[in-house]
Amino acid sequence: MSVSRRHFLQTAAATAGAAAFGAPAFAEDAILVGSLHDLSGGLDIYGKPMVDVLTFAIEEANAGGGLLGRQVKLINYDTQSNMQLYTQFAQQAALKDKVAVVHGGITSASREVIRPVLDKFKTLYFYNTQYEGGVCDRNQFDTGVTPAQTVEKLVPYAMKKWGKKVYVVAADYNYGQITSQWVKKYATENGGEVAAIDFFPLDVTNFASTISKIQAAKPDFVWSALVGGAHISFYRQWAAAGMAKSIPMASTTFGVGNEQIVLNPDECNGMLVCYNYFQGVKNPANTAFLERFHKRFGADYPNVTELAMGTYQGFQLWADAVKKAGSADRLKVIDALETGISIDAPSGKVTIDPPTHHCILDVHIAEVKDRKFDLLEDFPQQKPADTAAVCDLKKNPNDNQQYIIKF
């Protein structure tokens, strides 16, 4: 399936303001960047902001003269929340379009479809999404937070605030399954217990029986690792049953698709979340970024999400590595990244951790309040300790797998 310039412009226009107005004319030797994100389907609530921010980052780079005196061209593939299309477009990006790097994937399932294809065809891959940890692959760099950076902070915070008995609801794939075990680990270590864990496929929209089970279990709080547009139904049904006012909730997925804007405040106010980035983070880089971004996309642009910022930071890390390497060649860029490249990003300082190819970064606990996030506590420069326990690419550069980290 050919992705023509017309198709690219149509796809980009489907995002909130991502049409390439005023794009520079690309030279024949432009550096190509592939974007594999869901702009339609059940996961487009995550994909659209990620593509908007990647589009913005590339426009900024080109306005500044490009990279190595060459323009950067985005080739945007709408994967439509379809694993077959992830495979197809990953092959097209690597073999037909010959991109220098792919930024993409949202769920762990999509990552594990992309990763072997790009490994096989020697195309650099950035996965910019928070995830369950454990991927050890020299060809991949991960800019999102892992459980040791977020779950480890949020579980004891919620237990101290609400109590020690937690009920977990999670998406039924790698992220939900593994993250729920991290919740159980940290709850137990802090003197608490997990009453039960319920898993749901991504297309489930009826949660009535689970809400009844939670009511019977009487937990002190609920932990949500639900994912995607269909799972928003849980929060609506939870509030409709009167539970939002009686049993509080914490999450490391809520808000990354701007669910707090889609829902009414009485359906989600008071929820606790933990991420690397919130728009309310106060530093000069974030102030300047938001001013430029809103000038480009409009003052009424919805909240810039955690996943969108991870994508922006992923591009910046890659671009800095290209400059440092003096080349867009994959191995030279990997070598540059493995020096521990660091950027002053809107979220704070972000540094590549060479042994794991993950990031050292700040995280924050925040509370949902009237469609926004109120920051409550900051944790600077958190390391990906979970993945570091199983992955050392400096010692084992040929390692290539996702470890299930044993507790």
d(CA 69, CA 71): 7
154-251: CATH topology is Rossmann fold (3.40.50)
Nearby residues of 229 by Cβ (< 8 Å), 6 or more positions away: 42, 43, 44, 45, 257
Nearest to 356 by CA among 399, 404, 321, 296: 399
Place of tokens 């109120």: 374
Residues near 242 by Cβ (< 8 Å), separated by ≥ 6? none
d(CA 165, CA 188): 10
Helix, coil or strand: residue 79: coil
Specify the domain boundaries for CATH 3.40.50.2300 within the chain: 5-147+281-364+382-402, 154-251
For residues 275 and 373, what is the distance between their CA atoms, to the nearest angstrom? Answer: 11
| Model confidence pLDDT, tens digit, residues 134-147 | 999 999 999 999 99
**Residue whose structure tokens are 């237990």:** 159
DSSP letter assigned to residue 195? E
The reported pLDDT for the residue numbered 405 is 81
Q: At what angle do helices 306-325 and 330-337 cross, to 10 degrees?
A: 110
The correct CATH number of 5-147+281-364+382-402 out of 2.130.10.10, 1.10.10.10, 3.40.50.2300, 1.20.1340.10 is 3.40.50.2300
Sheet containing strand 72-78, strands side by side: 72-78, 31-37, 101-104, 124-127, 140-142
Measured distance CA(43)–CA(46) in Å, rounded: 6
Smallest CA-to-CA distance from 101 within 81, 83, 85, 121 is with: 121
pTM for this structure?
0.90
Q: What is the pLDDT of residue 42?
A: 86
H-run or E-run covering 87 = helix 83-91
Reduced 3-state DSSP string for 32-52: EEEEEECCCCCCHHHHHHHHH
Q: What is the pLDDT along the chain (407 residues), one digit of tens a residue?
A: 333 333 333 333 333 333 333 344 444 699 999 999 999 998 899 999 999 999 999 999 999 999 999 999 999 999 999 999 999 999 999 999 999 999 999 999 999 999 999 999 999 999 999 999 999 999 999 999 999 999 999 999 999 999 999 999 999 998 999 999 999 999 999 999 999 999 999 999 999 999 999 999 999 999 999 998 899 999 999 999 999 999 999 999 999 999 999 999 999 999 999 999 999 999 999 999 999 999 999 999 989 999 999 999 999 999 999 999 999 999 999 999 999 999 999 999 999 999 999 999 999 999 999 999 999 999 999 999 999 999 999 999 999 999 988 76
Alpha carbon 241 to its chain's center:
31
